[in-house]
């Protein structure tokens, strides 16, 4: 079964991204390309939980990433 998945998808299940990796990738992309509120879209129950996770992943808050992308430096 793993062989058939590898031939179709190019990787085995071990190579699939984790839920947290997918959240991180989507969060980073969406923060740079949209103005939508993404915490709920990614399954977080509060924006503070999302902010805490995002800071752990990237070392900056979602707002800091958006400002840096837009060039809105203080």
Distance CA 26, CA 19 (A): 11
**pLDDT tens digits, 4-61:** 555 566 666 677 888 899 999 999 999 988 888 899 999 999 999 999 999 999 999 9
Q: Give the predicted TM-score (pTM) of the model.
A: 0.69
Question: Per the structure, how many domains does the chain have?
Answer: 1
Domain membership of residue 52 as a residue range: 18-70
Distance CA 28, CA 53 (A): 12
Whether 12 maps to a domain, the answer reads: no
Distance CA 10, CA 74 (A): 45
- List the CATH number of the domain containing 54: 1.10.10.60
Chain centroid to CA 66: 14
């Amino acid at each position: 079964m793993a062989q058939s998945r590898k031939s179709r998808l190019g990787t085995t299940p071990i190579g699939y991204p984790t839920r947290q990796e997918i959240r991180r990738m989507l969060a980073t992309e969406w923060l740079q390309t949209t103005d939508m509120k993404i915490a709920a879209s990614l399954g977080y129950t509060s924006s503070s939980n999302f902010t805490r996770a995002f800071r752990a992943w990237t070392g900056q808050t979602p707002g800091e990433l958006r400002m840096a992308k837009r060039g809105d430096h203080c």
